[in-house]
A and B are shown apart, each in its own frame.
Chain A
Amino acid sequence: MHLVIIGNGITGVTAALTVRRRQPGARITLVSDESAHHYSRTALMYVYMGHMRAQDIKPYEDWFWSENRLELIQATATGLDTGRQQVHLSTGVTLAYDKLLLATGSVTKRYGWPGQNLRGVQGLYGLPDLARMEQDTRGITQAVVVGGGLIGVELAEMLHTRGIHVTMLVREARYWGSVLPPEEARLVDQQLTANGITVRYQTELAEVLADADGRVRAVRTTADEELPAQWLGIATGVAPNLSLVQHTAVETDRGILVNEQLETSVPGVYAAGDCAQHRQAGAGEVPIEQLWYTGRMQGETVGHTLAGQPTPYRRGIWFNSAKFFNLEYQTYGQVPARPAAGSESFYWEPANGQRALRINFDPARSFAVTGFNALGLRLRHDVCEAWLREQAPVQTVVAHLGAANFDPEFYRQHEPEIVAHFNRAFPQQAVQLRQGKCLISKILNL
């Protein structure tokens, strides 16, 4: 079997590794234009900030690919002929495939703002973007970032390390308003303030203004304010990269449409990761998942299918994490921005406001926990996952909270304070702390 994979991101690479493991004899070719070797997109910011060099963000050393007989081609796939089962490459080569995986990722979304194509206006998705940003932010003093999500805050942090003053434009009334409850958003806002980032909430981009050389000079906001800026970062989201499949038999909507097994409308052609759109997303799940983790899980699932063991994609219990300047964030299960009807929410934040823990639970289902948000605290993924899967009652969870503590040794343990706070908030469910941090071993076989 010759498997051709377009895209060497986490999705394509995980699929390739899964197939290699399950079918040692398969021929696997990875085609990608952005870089010769797989690199970690999530680490782009650290290269700009000088924490690492470009070669340090490659998850595998270069020998890895040939030793595992994964053929790498650095080229753009320019044409797809699903009838003949061929992919045309920018190098003039035509590749014949038995099975094809599209893992083409995303492109930065732009909303047709006047002046959006000026020099100095860009998103941050890949290595060419990073190189452009490096060039265009040299020696500047002011920048604007549009978008109050994860990439927006990353851009702000990057620019901040170069001493560039940043103003963020955020559409909602609070940071990441579609995802974070108000209390968590306030803690992130404190980070932004502490680092000298100016934020304009409920404000959008109206127009980008040019200087004489066709570079961005300032932006005008929907509040009709003119903000001087020599660079403008677009962080209003990404959209599936459909360039290869347009005008082919592969059906698309916003993304490449796939069924449960991540197969497209054309048999033998699959799509996964950022570029795929699920025809039927699971309950409470979005049809297009644009995360490193979901890319890895989809890549693995489709790898099984490609290796001859058809496997439906099941995301499992939701988790995610991020870091806002110095504030770490982890989430497990469902913690919607606004509480779901009937569900209760326990929120703890110490007086100094450096961290927070939220536990959502459902009183109607014997107080089963439904989600966790942790800020400035590290929680154990497997313990939280087990509690959510087994629908452990919130009383059990709070009483054994130490079992989920993943903070390093000698860190202050907040469990007694959290339990006291819980007992004040929910006197009917009052509990006693049964398990501090040290007894983790017990709970692991819960």
Chain B
Amino acid sequence: MSSADSSLALGHSPLPATNGTERTLLTAVGLGLLALLVAAFTADVEQARLSFYAGLALVCGGTLGWSWYKFGRGEEGVQQNNLWLRSSTSRGAVAWVVGIVLTGFYVVLYWYPHYLENLVRTLDPFSLALRARPADQWFLYGTFYTLAVLVMGGRALWKYRNSRYQLVRTGSVMFFQLGFAFILPGILLFFQKPEFYFTYFWPLKYDYLFPGTVDYLIKDGQALGVFMVFWGALMAFLATPVLTYFYGKRWYCSWVCGCGGLAETAGDAYRQLSDKSRRAWRLEVALIYPILGFIILVTLLMWADRLLQNALLGSVAGGLYKTYGFLIGAVFSGVVGVGFYPILGNRVWCRFGCPMAAYLGLLQKHFSRFRITTNGGQCISCGNCSNVCEMGIDVKQYAQRGEPIIRASCVGCGMCSNACPRGVLNLENGPREGRYQASPLIHADSLRILS
């Protein structure tokens, strides 16, 4: 923009000083993180365990206390003052530090898990109680993940308490993470059943429909295993289209999915960082559909290979599977997807990488009753809606033309509707006829926004 606004650049604006209460609470979080670090380097299990649980208590308690202090008191409403002025939420120094620490954690988790050994051992009693087996690095990760969703879910509940939609939705992701992605798989293991996540389906959990997994489930899980295979196929091929037809992809992406759950809770402070440009949209289309194609291809090849008893492909299918697992499963969904939250936003994986999102998106765009309705001519092009869109949709492009928003990528988080100061946006399920109809109260210019 013009030189006149150069003084509005980041970092120049003085933020209100953090007061004593806030400092105390944040110190608790800091000490907690320190205690976790100490635990990671303590070989003595008892000592490590003490440090570990004290650390967790401080981190969780401090975060909850701070969230309540920041968002839970006073008037309810849109709370995003200083979002782009704070270093932590505007790609400042704090954000980079957090990003590097998170990324580092994922790298250690995937490729150097032995560094986590001391932490893993502290969880053994808990793991034995829940799953009747010692902990491993994935159990440690699952515990951290679930705690993050629950604690930061608390923050979201306070922050968005003005909106019932947000309260219900946040409650839902917390419930599915805790119940279906943490406790239930643990209980299955306790009863010597296959570990199974009833809330993850092909193509996100791609191996659930691979011949190897199917064989294993049926052999190892007997009747329950057969049900699991049936459930996986049913959800992927029947429930997904049906539910998406009625409610849009949001039923999964921002209500059930664990990746979405983390993004909506722990990642909430980073939603504004998603790139809204047309360039980013093109990149999204260029990545996500090929990834969906890739996983479909791998799945088909695995089955073809199996039917032909390895005659056709030999190790090719297995190689493809490994490549996909490394590039997409680990690097993209974990390291980049979560590690880069503070830099690229909280839905990078969901937007650019997730094959399930691609599949749901195609359904949402072409076979769904879902749309975001715009309210006549009330839009003032302020841009608040685009700002909070974690999927990088430039929502105002539609609103200022009076057009409903029907985009494959929309996860239906409802934040645009919440942030709009003029009450322009509403998530609705309605008849498919006239779904694209623009409001006659704005005469939309037909100039293309995406060629």
Contact = CB atoms under 8 A, between A and B. Distances in A.
Interface of A: 10, 14, 17-18, 20-21, 34-37, 39-40, 42-43, 46-47, 49-61, 63-64, 68, 74, 126-128, 130-131, 134-135, 138-139, 161-163, 194-195, 292-293, 296, 300, 319, 321-323, 325-326, 328, 330, 378-382, 385, 406-412, 440-441
B416 to A, nearest CB: 11
21 contacts: A10-B381, A17-B445, A18-B443, A50-B82, A51-B83, A51-B84, A51-B387, A53-B10, A55-B1, A59-B396, A126-B4, A127-B1, A128-B4, A139-B14, A162-B16, A296-B377, A321-B380, A325-B77, A326-B76, A385-B441, A406-B375
Interface-centre pick from B81, B277, B400 (highest chain A CB count, 10 A)? B81
Contact of A37 (B1, B376, B422): B1
Contact of A195 (B13, B75, B272, B397): B75
B383 A43 contact: yes
Given A135-B7, A385-B441, A410 B1 contact: no
A10 B382 CA distance: 12
A408 B165 contact: yes
Contacts of A130: 5, 8
Contact of B421 (A10, A64, A323): A323
A91 to B, nearest CB: 14
A35 B1 contact: yes
B382 A409 contact: no
A51 B382 CA distance: 11
Contacts of A64: 447, 449
Interface string B53-87: 00000000000000000000001111011111110
B199 interface: no
B447 A20 contact: yes
B423 interface: yes
B273 to A, nearest CB: 11
Contacts of A34: 2, 4
A410 B164 contact: yes
Contacts of B387: 51-52, 56
Contacts of A322: 422
A29 to B, nearest CB: 17
A17 B447 contact: yes
A49 B426 CA distance: 25
A293 B439 CA distance: 14
Interface in B431-451: 431, 439-443, 445-447, 449
A381 B82 contact: no
A36 B441 CA distance: 29
Given A68-B447, A408-B426, A134 B380 contact: no
B75 A382 contact: no
A43 B381 contact: yes
A394 B445 CA distance: 35
B162 interface: yes
B42 interface: no
B371 to A, nearest CB: 13
Contacts of A412: 164
A323 B422 contact: yes
Nearest to A326: B77
B368 interface: no
B132 to A, nearest CB: 40
Contact of A40 (B84, B382, B442, B449): B382
Interface string B1-39: 110111110101110100000000000000000000000
Interface string B312-342: 0000000000000000000000000000000
Nearest to B17: A163
Interface in B369-426: 373, 375-378, 380-384, 386-387, 394, 396-397, 400, 414, 417-418, 421-423, 426
B430 interface: yes
Contacts of B440: 382
Given A10-B381, A50-B85, A130-B5, A381 B386 contact: no
B40 interface: no
Closest 3 CB pairs of A and B: A381-B376, A326-B77, A378-B423
Interface string B343-383: 00000000000000000000000000000010111101111
A284 to B, nearest CB: 19
Nearest to A407: B426
Contacts of B77: 325-326
Contacts of B423: 321, 328, 330, 378-379, 406
Contacts of A14: 445
A445 to B, nearest CB: 10
B417 to A, nearest CB: 5
B299 to A, nearest CB: 35
A36 B1 contact: yes
A72 to B, nearest CB: 12
